[in-house]
Structure 1
Amino acid sequence: MGETVRTLAYGAWPSPIDAVLAAAHDGRPEDVGFVGDEVWWTEPRPTEGGRRTLVRRRAEGTAEPVLAAPWNVRTRVIEYGGRPWTGLMTADGPLVVFANFADQRLYALRPGPGEEPRPLTPVSPVGGGLRWAEPQILAEHGEVWCVLEEFTGDGPSDVRRVLAAVPLDGSAAGDRDAVRELTDDRHRFVTGPRLAPDGRRAAWLAWDHPRMPWDGTELLVAEIGPGGTFGEPTTLAGGPEESVAQVDWAPDGALLYASDRTGWWNLYRDGRPVCPRQEEFGGPLWKLGRRWFAPLDSGLIAVVHGRGATALGILDPETGEVVDAAGPWTEFAPALAVLGERVAAVGASPRSAYEVVELDARTGHARVIGAPHDDAVDPAHYPEPQIRTFTGPDGREIHAHVYPPHNPGCVAPGGELPPYVVWAHGGPTGRSPLVLDLEIAYFTSRGIGVAEVNYGGSTGHGREYRNRLRGQWGVVDVEDCAAVALALADEGTADRGRLAVRGGSAGGWTAAASLATTDVYACGTIIYPVLDLTGWSEGETHDFESRYLETLIGPYAEVPGRYAERSPTGHADRITAPFLLLQGLDDVICPPVQCERFLARMAGRRVPHAYLAFEGEGHGFRRAETMVRALEAELSLYAQVFGLNPRGVPTLELTK
């Protein structure tokens, strides 16, 4: 006999997916690479202070963490970070170099009993210190080549970035002068150098304020002279309105890169398109070292590509044909590594979280080799998403994923419509991937629908779609989210009186702006947000995004009124819906002062709200206990506002 299906109101459905389970499965493997013929990667540990460890998969198939707590393999370069480790196999076994989050120093390690990491770089007494990303070991030079981010003062923009060479012998561990700079600091931002197969040329990307890397970058190439010195670089591609997202070398010495010069990030070989399509073979460079393509020894190219969702494929640059890997994965992260004809990648689907996948380019066979998805609950409780396209203002298309309430053991009373929460992703130059997320399942399995909106400005749909947000942040994103929410209500999918909005970072901005400028939502959850554009643009954020608003809003000197008009902080008097505000106290991207200023403006207005601030958390919560508290608080907000009765959830105290 099957389980009896009970009739219970939306929001009261019992679910095996609690906040502890959702938190334990937060994060994903990243930074895959080969060390000899072994695949290594970084992996989150939410229950160990939110650190990331390095995982090694031995040839016989066993996987083991390489670094015990408190080692944390993560760099703070541009605050969002980048590839934090590299490794190679020597006669004495593996040698790895990694950045440690706590002190941002590079360390070298030969894994083995009694072996401890030894520092390669010094601690800086100035400002944010010395930071390193995209390391690569050049054994012939006895050096590690990487990106160096060096603070020259205490301000967030007192910083320079260059390519640098760090001695492997540890002689720079206490001596900054022992670090050899490969380039000057004429460019504000640089990516790590990619070396040609003959070792005689290096290629990298650079860009300058006020551009973000998806607006425009330059592809630079320099000759490498005796002793590893760089010649004067030459610009081969890119510009103010051309974003080159990645560069690499083919085995025959041809230069490969992904450029959006046609309006889509497509692949080029020595300047010629190899697979012109209206889909993306690149993406936004939020972290240094992202890889959407990787050349194979055969001359073929492993690619992560797609329109919206991404597939893993093998591209033949001679014919332009792409053959995609078979398997259950419907989304791949920009984290490719290759060895011979082996491709290591990170893939996921609506039924499985991100896992490490290996593809044999000769046979097309793909298999899971690391961080395998494990169903902690019956998959019948997972949401069943719908890929939807809605019509927004002026007839524009809006892409979204709709996750209706779903629980195999429950139905709602006839005639009751479910509450829905609209999720606005961060970035805003980013997108919501269609993958299993137990935070979404936490709500849908209780009878609360979720709609992820890839509003205008999102990636995955070409440069024109991405550019919709230029000068329109706080307008187009708000309008698109509202259009999806109201369409769901109009079609009878959602309860018009029980709509909420939530988002983190740029999504937190969209959530707050939505509450301030529309009457669509009954409440909202605002997570580590931007709330005050004027303050954010005048030194309250980090260097990487310090001029981002010139594109999203407009140059401050030209449109100062727009900064005030769009900011939720300046219009706290318009907010009447209850809200939950969540913030990490160590956040340097969207600092707590923004929340404090906003709450001061809300004082005395008698709008029910709660503010939860977490010590030790930055931009993006990483600790299990934080995620549990935040998720339960969010559900309690919806329960109180929507009149729901969830089981076993602590009541969030709302103040007025």
Structure 2
Amino acid sequence: MSTRILFLGMAVLLMACTEQSGDGTQSSRNESQKEVTPTELAFGSWPSPITAASLVEGARGIGGLIKDGEDFFWLESRPEQGGRNTIMRWKPGADPQEILSEPFNVRTRVQEYGGASLLVHGGVLWFSNFADQRIYRFVPGEAPVAITPPADLRFAGCSFDEPRERLLCIREDHRGLGEPVNSLVALAPNQEDEGTVLFSGTDFVSAPRLSADGSRIAFTSWMHPNMPWDSTTLHSASFDERGALVNLQTHNSDSDESVIDPQWREDNTLVAISDRDNWWKPYVVVGSSFTAIETGMEEVEIGGPDWSIGSRYYWFLPDGKMLLVARKGSVEQLVLLDDSGSRRILQTSAVSYGSLVFDQGQLYFTAGFADQPSALVRAGLDGTITDVIRRSSDTALAADWISGYEQVTFPLPSGGEAYGVYFSPKNPVAMAPKGTAPPLIVSVHGGPTGVAGVSYRPEHYYWTSRGFAVLDLNYRGSTGFGREYRRALYGQWGITDVEDASAGAAWLAEQGLADPDRLIIRGGSAGGYTTLAVHAFYDTFAAGASYFGVSDVEALAKDTHKFESRYLDQLVGPYPERKDLYVERSPINHLEGFSAPLLLLQGLDDPIVPPNQSEMIYDALKSRGVPTAYVAFEGESHGFRKAENQIAAREAELYFYAKVLGLNPADELPGITIDNLD
């Protein structure tokens, strides 16, 4: 390493980080630091303090906020504990406290993606434990006690049915030989019980919500091949004296719409979100009549794809007002709506929201910011944040290292437009030679119904601080742009998403914002498939990295879990009737198109995209002489949760890009084996 790089490295360490104070402000670790004149270095070789390890050190995910009595509870994920989810407790005036000890891990596997795995009522907690998928009753200070049997059962979305002293949960029964059976069940709260079935007969059940007085329940269901963002059915019912459902109503039996997040007003008026007019928004539901609640907003999404159980997008306040999370493209706003339809956007400075609780005139929610780590905060109804209760990280980057985002729209060769979020290279101690453009990483989200976020993204700054640009792609199929845009991928997976990735990279290169000879694509899950498909069908990209991506679409149709087992009917076509499309769209069947180097990363315990998907394409490319590398991780499922694996994967990526694109990073990186690299 040169003396110049060594000096820059010392300057980098002095300038990089800030500490987070309790009121949400940032204070520099070195207030007296002197400005450093940027040194001219090639893009991709800039020294950076944002190491792969720093992305996970002290990091924690925060979600699932619940208030019970005077206490607030939430879940925290801990990458440094293998991705374990623990339970935190806090009350105003005290410090947050962890109350659940290892090895308990609060995470349900219902639909594999889980959600709503914690319930609190009357000082008692019930949670789903990941290792055995049993529900445990937990009184803080005592040992958790299992209340469901040691059987192949999973539970999620539980609520406490106070009039009948029981839990109401979604149960997924894996004890049979065929597909698991999803049902709405009632559980005894204090003794071992497998549940009494209240509703079944549909492929999926979700979002059970009790009215405030416990007299009514609402929930949704759907059938194969639909996903919950395709066509769902809204039900409501009351209870007889034995607690069984009676007067069951089906509110939209013949409607091709996604109905999600049913809730009850205090007067037992049923409200639910529907995308029947192209944009998810709330409706008052009476029988089969859906009356839109006027929000005064157009072309915004109040709702999203229910990959997990229990998602919420609006809340009722005691005075009849509603709080809504409204998404426009990649940015969310928190909106206060009164009975007259008058609305006010709360100026919180956040760009994403979740887990909201209203208590004594104050709002408590998780907030994502563009320029600092996300946090659990307290705010007034005017939107002013008055207290930061818990941050997702104790440290943050100084502003000089944070690349600002730009939402971009670019034209498509086939007509129309696609979207993305562009992050330019940024490093206060380095600059590129004039007349040069940065290597570009096109990041493709999964789902494929996901959306590129604009909140604090250190995983992007890892690249931008080293002299890469990033395009976080919102290809057709993404959420935030209406149902028509989301459904534009139907029947076209492997075509429109691939075109959008290629077009976005080419457009940025034409603008001088990316080096046309160093275009990179990376993605996980569905984004991994797009990464593989664009290598098979286009020559736009010079390198790529697929995280647990699909190489054989037909094999995936035959070997995946129930929730997504018919998803490809929508994205590709009915199987096996349209087997020809599955063969045609599978990258493994188009090896002649592969020439650019490819990195494959895979969890060996992945039930959603099994390891053979990565192994097949690796073996095939290796035998054909294409530069390729395969990095597999024991004990990892779909998405890497363990800190050591997240670090290894990120460093493997940088090492791979450096070797195959001739870059000279300032980092000392562990090597990986790259086959066929001359």
TM-score range, shorter chain: over 0.9
Residue by residue over 1:107-149, the C-alpha shift from the partner in whole angstroms, topping out at 9 and shown as x without a partner, is 011102xx1100010111xxxx200001122344232111101
1:365 deviates by: 5.4
The answer as to 2:45 corresponding to 1:12 is: yes
Q: Within 5 Å, which residues of 2 pair with 1:444-593?
A: 444-538=464-558, 540-593=559-612
Q: Name the stretch that deviates more: 639-648 or 626-635.
A: 639-648
Q: Distance in 1 between matches of 2:518 and 2:384?
A: 47
The answer as to 2:197 corresponding to 1:181 is: yes
1:399 deviates by: 1.1
Instruction: Output the amino acid matched with 1:546.
Output: S
SS at match of 1:181: strand
1:231 deviates by: 1.4
1:279–1:462 Cα contact (<8 Å) kept: yes
Find the counterpart in structure 2 of residue 42 from structure 1.
75
Equivalent in 247, 250, 259 of residue 244 of structure 1:
259
Instruction: Output the amino acid matched with 2:237.
Output: A
The answer as to 2:624 corresponding to 1:605 is: yes
TM-score by length of 1: 0.94
1:407 deviates by: 0.4
Q: Name the stretch that deviates more: 454-463 or 376-385.
A: 376-385
Find the counterpart in structure 1 of residue 306 from structure 2.
285
Find the counterpart in structure 1 of residue 172 from structure 2.
149
Q: Distance in 1 between matches of 2:94 and 2:496?
A: 49
The answer as to 2:283 corresponding to 1:256 is: no
Find the counterpart in structure 1 of residue 139 from structure 2.
110
Instruction: Output the amino acid matched with 1:119.
Output: A
> Which structure 1 residue ranges, 4+ long, deviate > 6 Å from structure 2?
none
Q: Distance in 2 between matches of 1:563 and 1:187?
A: 27
The answer as to 2:321 corresponding to 1:300 is: yes
Find the counterpart in structure 1 of residue 181 from structure 2.
160
1:286 deviates by: 0.5
> Alpha carbons of 1:362 and 1:645: their partners in 2 closer, same or farther (altered >3 Å)?
closer
Q: Name the stretch that deviates more: 454-463 or 642-651.
A: 642-651
> Alpha carbons of 1:491 and 1:534: their partners in 2 closer, same or farther (altered >3 Å)?
same
Q: Distance in 2 between matches of 1:303 and 1:366?
A: 20
> Alpha carbons of 1:27 and 1:433: their partners in 2 closer, same or farther (altered >3 Å)?
farther
Q: Within 5 Å, which residues of 2 pair with 1:357-372?
A: 357-361=377-381, 367-371=387-391
1:653 deviates by: 2.0
Q: Distance in 2 between matches of 1:292 and 1:368?
A: 22
1:401–1:452 Cα contact (<8 Å) kept: yes
SS at match of 1:474: coil
SS at match of 1:478: helix
Residue by residue over 1:478-525, the C-alpha shift from the partner in whole angstroms, topping out at 9 and shown as x without a partner, is 101111100111111110000010000000000000111100001100
1:353 deviates by: 2.7
Q: Distance in 2 between matches of 1:293 and 1:220?
A: 19
Identity of aligned residues (%): 38
SS at match of 2:626: coil
Q: Distance in 2 between matches of 1:6 and 1:298?
A: 58
SS at match of 1:619: coil
Q: Distance in 1 between matches of 2:340 and 2:567?
A: 39
Q: Distance in 1 between matches of 2:226 and 2:551?
A: 22
Find the counterpart in structure 2 of residue 375 from structure 1.
395
Q: Name the stretch that deviates more: 276-285 or 584-593.
A: 276-285
> Alpha carbons of 1:149 and 1:250: their partners in 2 closer, same or farther (altered >3 Å)?
same
Equivalent in 231, 235, 254 of residue 246 of structure 2:
231
2:74–2:88 Cα contact (<8 Å) kept: yes
Instruction: Output the amino acid matched with 1:137.
Output: F
Find the counterpart in structure 2 of residue 133 from structure 1.
156
Residue by residue over 1:143-163, the C-alpha shift from the partner in whole angstroms, topping out at 9 and shown as x without a partner, is 211110111335xx5210111
Residue by residue over 1:454-497, the C-alpha shift from the partner in whole angstroms, topping out at 9 and shown as x without a partner, is 00110001011111101000011010111110011111111000
1:163–1:192 Cα contact (<8 Å) kept: no
1:437 deviates by: 1.7
Equivalent in 604, 627, 633 of residue 646 of structure 2:
627
Q: Distance in 2 between matches of 1:253 and 1:342?
A: 24
1:30–1:43 Cα contact (<8 Å) kept: yes
Find the counterpart in structure 2 of residue 407 from structure 1.
427
Count of residue pairs brought into register by the alignment: 636
SS at match of 1:394: coil
Q: Distance in 2 between matches of 1:297 and 1:364?
A: 20
Q: Distance in 1 between matches of 2:383 and 2:668?
A: 50
2:330–2:452 Cα contact (<8 Å) kept: no
1:274–1:318 Cα contact (<8 Å) kept: no
Q: Distance in 2 between matches of 1:628 and 1:246?
A: 36
> Alpha carbons of 1:60 and 1:278: their partners in 2 closer, same or farther (altered >3 Å)?
same
Instruction: Output the amino acid matched with 1:491.
Output: Q
Equivalent in 309, 328, 352 of residue 372 of structure 2:
352
1:223–1:230 Cα contact (<8 Å) kept: yes
Q: Distance in 1 between matches of 2:67 and 2:331?
A: 23
SS at match of 2:599: strand
The answer as to 2:109 corresponding to 1:76 is: yes
TM-score by length of 2: 0.91
Residue by residue over 1:605-634, the C-alpha shift from the partner in whole angstroms, topping out at 9 and shown as x without a partner, is 111111111111100100000000000000
Q: Distance in 2 between matches of 1:456 and 1:26?
A: 32
1:74 deviates by: 0.6
> Alpha carbons of 1:267 and 1:192: their partners in 2 closer, same or farther (altered >3 Å)?
closer
> Alpha carbons of 1:70 and 1:98: their partners in 2 closer, same or farther (altered >3 Å)?
same
2:412–2:503 Cα contact (<8 Å) kept: yes
1:339 deviates by: 4.1
2:330–2:451 Cα contact (<8 Å) kept: no
Unpaired segments of 5 or more residues in structure 2?
1-33
1:26 deviates by: 5.7
Q: Within 5 Å, which residues of 2 pair with 1:199-214?
A: 199-214=214-229
Find the counterpart in structure 2 of residue 391 from structure 1.
411
Instruction: Output the amino acid matched with 1:645.
Output: N
2:548–2:638 Cα contact (<8 Å) kept: yes
> Alpha carbons of 1:120 and 1:362: their partners in 2 closer, same or farther (altered >3 Å)?
farther
1:274 deviates by: 1.1
> Alpha carbons of 1:637 and 1:27: their partners in 2 closer, same or farther (altered >3 Å)?
farther
Find the counterpart in structure 1 of residue 8 from structure 2.
none
1:28 deviates by: 2.5
Find the counterpart in structure 2 of residue 596 from structure 1.
615
SS at match of 2:334: strand
Q: Distance in 2 between matches of 1:222 and 1:526?
A: 46
Find the counterpart in structure 1 of residue 28 from structure 2.
none
